[in-house]
């Protein structure tokens, strides 16, 4: 049913992604699918990496570690943008097209006041509306 799964990852917040990562691994094992871990980053330094090239190396290491630990095929991808706040949805859509995935497994942000006031938008909901792949949101 699924052959390639995209998993958006922020290495700075892995502690908040454990449930989504486990879900993606379980689905990948069930369908013998490959996982592609994706990170979308600004061009400026972050707490995880000084530059996008360093982040790409860390993402590759993360993907290899996940693959070896869980016995699944993995790859990684880093997309750079000057402003993730403005371009995140667009870059996610492009990654879905570029990778040819048939499923996206992603973590949801915890619900809060911004959701009730419709101040925050949902990246997952945007993917559902504007792509033709399945999206599994893990809370």
pLDDT over 70 (residue 41): yes
DSSP 52-69: HHHHHHHHHHHHHHHHHH
Q: What is the DSSP letter of 51?
A: S
50-106 per-position pLDDT tens digit: 999 999 999 999 999 999 999 999 999 999 999 888 899 999 999 999 999 999 999
93-139 per-position pLDDT tens digit: 999 999 999 999 999 866 555 545 444 457 888 888 889 999 999 98
Domains annotated for the chain, with CATH where assigned, are 4-138 (3.40.50.620)
The pTM of this model reads 0.90
What pLDDT does 111 receive? 56
Query: What is the band of 44 on the pLDDT scale with cuts at 50, 70, 90?
Result: confident
What pLDDT does 123 receive? 82
- Alpha-carbon span 28 to 72, nearest angstrom: 7
Strand partners of residue 93: none
Dihedral Cα 30, 12, 95, 73, nearest 10 deg: -30
The three-state secondary structure class of 16 is helix
- Alpha-carbon span 42 to 18, nearest angstrom: 23
């Amino acid at each position: 049913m699924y052959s390639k799964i995209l998993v958006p990852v922020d290495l700075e917040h892995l502690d908040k992604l454990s449930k989504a990562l486990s879900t993606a691994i379980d689905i990948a094992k069930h369908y013998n699918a490959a996982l592609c871990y994706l990170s979308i980053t600004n061009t400026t330094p972050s707490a995880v990496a000084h530059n996008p090239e360093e982040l790409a190396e860390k993402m590759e290491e993360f993907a290899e570690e996940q693959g070896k630990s869980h016995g699944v095929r993995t790859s990684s991808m880093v997309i750079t943008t000057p402003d993730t706040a403005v371009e995140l949805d667009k870059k996610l859509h492009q990654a879905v097209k570029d990778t040819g995935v048939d499923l996206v497994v992603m973590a949801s942000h915890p619900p809060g006041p911004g959701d009730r006031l419709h101040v925050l938008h949902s990246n997952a909901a945007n993917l559902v509306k504007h792509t033709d792949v399945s999206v599994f949101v893990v809370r």
